[in-house]
Amino acid sequence: MKRRRHTAVAAAAVLALAALLPESALADARADARAGVRAGVRVGVRAAGVDPNTPAGVRPNGGSSHAALVFSDEFLGTSLDTAKWTAVDAKRRDGQYFDSWWKPSNVRVNPNPDSVNGGNLWISLSKLSGTEYATGEIESRGKFDFTYDTVEWRAQMPPNHDLFGALWMMPPGGINGVDGTARDGGEYDVIESTSASDTYGNTVHYDGYGADHKASAVSVNAPGLHSGYHTYTVEWRPDRIIYRYDGTVVRTITDPNLVSQVSLFPVISSESAEWAAGSIHDAPLDHRSNMYVDYIRVWQ
């Protein structure tokens, strides 16, 4: 968010209080306003990208050095918020046994928070033909990106039928630059739930996807991964990236060559691939194959 806007809002808030407060209280208000501007907090007003349904004062699971909520989506509307997200329509990959697509029709929001998995983002599986399947992906490319913030998703992964849920981040300019580092932007796969066990992949891809491609990957132990909802949190600082699963630190990157110094945007996807666990031919074409996302929130 632009700091000029923060400053203008803070100033307006102090002026409004001036006529109502004694001088001592007004001095405190001015101090609070200055502190809020330094922290990136808009005094008395939520940041424009914050969902009004996000509870006030929420913090990342496990804590964070970032305090100001600047973006969120609770997925409580009747449709996807296109001011924040684009649903991708593209062929994902060709396979030996089946081909896969991302289709906007496989992305929807259930508006009823009182129903099972209601008030959430739903990404479904569908069959386009005998050898073609579709899932979905949403991204905030060109609509919201951030630098050195904390992002948290609460999500339920799809079942293991050649399906996997992915929560990730990408730089707006892609990762085509080749300099031997991810400092100019990397693909940060926070989770790819490709295993049938309670583990998932956490990977940084950089230097493109061709001959110069490099990756740093770990396997994360994730108790209960395939049962219910879990939180996936990334605290990104200029000198490190801290990953948490349900509030517990599962990976910390301190290698300066792996810490992006350019902005990233969040991505949510359900994907199908022959190298993931299970068989897509066993997958039910109904809610049982869905990926569900309860919320995404970003603090700075």
pLDDT by residue (tens digit) across 119-129? 899 999 999 99
> How many Å apart are CA 24 and CA 18, to the nearest integer?
11
Residue 84: predicted pLDDT: 98
**pLDDT > 90? residue 5:** no
Phi and psi at residue 16, in whole multiples of 5°?
-65, -30
> For residue range 254-290, what is the model confidence (pLDDT) as tens digits?
999 999 999 999 999 999 999 999 999 999 999 999 9
Residue 37: predicted pLDDT: 36
> How many Å apart are CA 24 and CA 43, to the nearest integer?
19
**pLDDT > 60? residue 28:** no
> How many Å apart are CA 10 and CA 37, to the nearest integer?
7
> How many Å apart are CA 272 and CA 291, to the nearest integer?
12
> How many Å apart are CA 199 and CA 219, to the nearest integer?
6
From its phi and psi, is residue 61 left (phi > 0), alpha (psi between -120 and 50) or beta? beta
Q: 86-119 in b/e burial notation, b at 16+ Cβ within 10 A?
A: ebbeeebeebeebbbbbbeebbbbbeeeeeebeb
Token couple for 13:
């808030």
Residue 77: predicted pLDDT: 85
pTM score, whole prediction: 0.84
38-42, 58-62, 144-148, 275-279: least confidently modelled range: 38-42
